[in-house]
Amino acid sequence: MVRVVIEHKVKDLKDVEKFIEVIREVRNEAMKQKGFITGETLVNTADPRNVLVLSTWESIDDWKAWDNFDVRLKMNSQINDLLSEPYSVRVFEYYLLHQRRVRTIF
């Protein structure tokens, strides 16, 4: 199981709501994909233009398949138009799974 952290910096404060709506549309598509478990959106309290999108996937391969899925790639242009800089993506594995101490945490 992996957790994906995508950090965005929205260009203009007035565009944050529009950005969140696009993220909701992307998440609605992600929910239909194999391996998607959950997703959430966090807004920085000190700088609301800084938005984190977190998602949990059954495997890194499921995440990569979604990351390269044509629907997601098309929606990326809507996201990028609202950003002041390219978004960053980091993928994390649950520690206990990485250490092979447990099969699942659920």
Domain for residue 57, yes or no? yes
Whole-angstrom distance, CA of residue 1 vs CA of residue 10: 29
Q: Is residue 73 part of a domain?
A: yes
Q: 53, 39 in Cβ contact below 8 A?
A: yes
pTM of the model: 0.86
Instruction: Give the residue numbers spanning the domain of 28.
Output: 2-98
49 found inside a domain: yes
Report how far residue 2's alpha carbon sits from residue 15's, in angstroms, rounded to the nearest whole number.
Answer: 30
Residue 105 covered by a domain: no
How does pLDDT run across 94-103, given as a tens digit for each residue?
A: 876 656 655 5
In a domain, 10, yes or no: yes
Residue 36 β-bridge partners: 57
Domain membership of residue 94 (yes or no) is yes
Q: Is residue 103 part of a domain?
A: no
What would the pLDDT profile of 42-94 be if each residue is shown by its tens digit? 999 999 999 999 999 999 999 999 999 999 999 999 999 999 999 999 999 98
Give the chain's domain count.
1
β-sheet bridge partners, residue 7 = 52, 88
